[in-house]
Structure 1
Amino acid sequence: MRRQDPRPNFMTSAFLKCIEQSCQQRYPLDAKEHQCPECGGLLDVQYDFPRIDPASLRLLWQQRKTSSAITDQSGVWRFRELLPFAPEGTNVVSLSEGRTPLIEVNRTGEWAGGVRLAIKHQGNNPTGSFKDLGMTACITQAAILGSRVTACASTGNTSASMAAYAARAGMKAVVFVPFGKISTAKLAQALEFGAVVIEMGDNFDQAFRMLRELTDELGLYLVNSLNPFRLEGQKTIVFEILEQRDWRVPDYLVLPGGNLGNVSSVGKGLQELRQLGLIDKLPRLVVVQAEGASPFYTMIATGAGEITPVQPRTEASAIRIGNPVNWKKALRAVRLTDGLCESVTDEQIFEAKATLAKDGVGCEPASAAAVAGTQKLVRSGKIEDGADVVAVLTGHQLKDPEISIKRRSERELAQQRLHVEADIHKLRAVLESVMLQSA
Structure 2
Amino acid sequence: MNITKEQIDELNAVVKVAISKEDYQEKVDTILKDYRKQANIPGFRKGQVPMGLIKKQYGKAVLVDEVNKLLQDNLNKYLTEEKLDVLGNPLPKQQEDFDWESDNLDFEFELGLAPSFDVKLKTKKAVTQYKIVADKKMIDEQVERIQKQYGKLVSKTEVGKSDEVTGTFTNEAEEIENKTTIELSKIKAKKALDALVGKKAGESVTLKTKGLFKEDYLLSSSLGIAKEKAEKLNIEVTFTVEEINERQPAALDQELFDKLFGKDNVKTEKELRERIKDDSETQFEQQSDQKLLNDITERLIDETKFNLPSEFLKKWIQISGEKMLSEDEASEEFEKSEKGLRYQLIEGKIIQENELQVQLEELKEFAKGFIKSQMAQYGHLDPKEEELENIATRVLGNQDEVKRLSEQLMSQKLLTLYKEKSNLKVKEVNYEDFVKEAYS
TM range (shorter): under 0.3
Name the one with the larger strand percent. 2
Normalised to the residue count of structure 2, the TM-score between the two structures is: 0.18
Normalised to the residue count of structure 1, the TM-score between the two structures is: 0.18
Bigger Rg over Cα:
2
Q: Quick one: higher RCO (CA 8 Å, sep 6+), 1 or 2?
A: 2
